[in-house]
């Protein structure tokens, strides 16, 4: 807060005399609430739309609640709050003190597996493919005396789940 002045009953404008006595004197002080700067930034694998720093303000003793953002393909790992008078991580409640507040949100990109199955049996697995990554499907398999049906998927962008790609063999019958 910023002190902006005081006024009181120590001067009598009618008589021009300053009050000097034994009675109580009332003095009224005035204060302005100074906004407290709050900065929000994000770290880790940050989804689109969360890249920039956001500055905003609240006044001393104000409260607000941090909510958990959601974004397809990403996991929000939590908030770090520095400079707040009080912060309850379980509820996200923040009480503003006199110091600037720095809020950091941490993100992590989700990763899943691409699993190749041939005739119901796992043939290959590519682990920990990040959400949104372009995936090139393996070339068709070749084995003497068998025809491969091909894979049931073509190249794709990794979704937010495991992907199973199927293929099968047909045995050549030579007569």
List b or e across 113-150, with b for residues whose CB sees 16 or more CB atoms inside 10 angstroms: ebbbbbeeeeeeeeeebebbeebebeeebeeeeeeeee
Q: Give pLDDT, residue 94.
A: 96
* CA contacts within 13 A on the Cβ side of 9: 6
pLDDT greater than 60 at residue 4: no
| List of residues 6+ apart from 110 with CB closer than 8 A | 73, 74, 75, 130, 131, 160
Assign 3-state DSSP to the chain and report helix, strand, coil percentages, each to 5: 0, 55, 45
In which element (H, E) is residue 130 found? strand 121-130
Q: Is 151 helix (H, G, I), strand (E, B) or coil?
A: coil
Q: Give pLDDT, residue 49.
A: 87
Task: Name which of 13-17, 33-37, 64-68, 71-75 the model is least confident about.
Answer: 13-17
pLDDT greater than 80 at residue 29: no
pLDDT digits (tens, 9 = 90+) for 108-150: 999 999 999 999 999 999 999 999 999 999 999 999 989 999 9
pLDDT greater than 70 at residue 8: no
Q: Give pLDDT, residue 6.
A: 47
pLDDT digits (tens, 9 = 90+) for 63-72: 999 999 999 9
pLDDT digits (tens, 9 = 90+) for 79-91: 999 999 899 999 9
Threshold 0.85, pTM exceeds: no
Report how far apart the first and last C-alpha atoms of the chain are (Å, whole number): 96
Residues 164 and 156: their CA atoms lie apart, in Å, by: 12
Centre a 10 Å sphere on the Cβ of residue 105 and count the other Cβ atoms it contains. 19
């Amino acid at each position: 807060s910023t002190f902006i002045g005081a006024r009181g009953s120590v001067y009598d404008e009618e008589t021009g005399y300053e009050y000097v006595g034994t009675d109580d004197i009332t003095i009224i002080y005035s204060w302005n609430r100074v906004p407290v700067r709050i900065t929000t930034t994000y770290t880790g694998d940050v989804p689109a739309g969360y890249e920039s720093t956001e500055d905003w303000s609240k006044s001393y003793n104000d409260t607000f609640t941090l909510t958990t953002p959601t974004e397809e393909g990403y996991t929000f790992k939590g908030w770090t709050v520095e400079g707040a008078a009080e912060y309850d991580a379980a509820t996200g409640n923040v009480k503003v003190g006199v110091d600037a507040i720095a809020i950091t949100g941490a993100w992590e990109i989700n990763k899943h597996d691409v699993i190749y199955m041939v005739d119901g049996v796992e043939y290959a697995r590519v682990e920990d493919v990040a959400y949104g990554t372009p995936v090139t499907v393996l070339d068709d398999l070749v084995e003497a005396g068998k025809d491969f049906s091909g894979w049931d998927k073509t190249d794709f962008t990794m979704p937010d789940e495991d992907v199973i790609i199927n293929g099968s063999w047909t045995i050549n019958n030579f007569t």
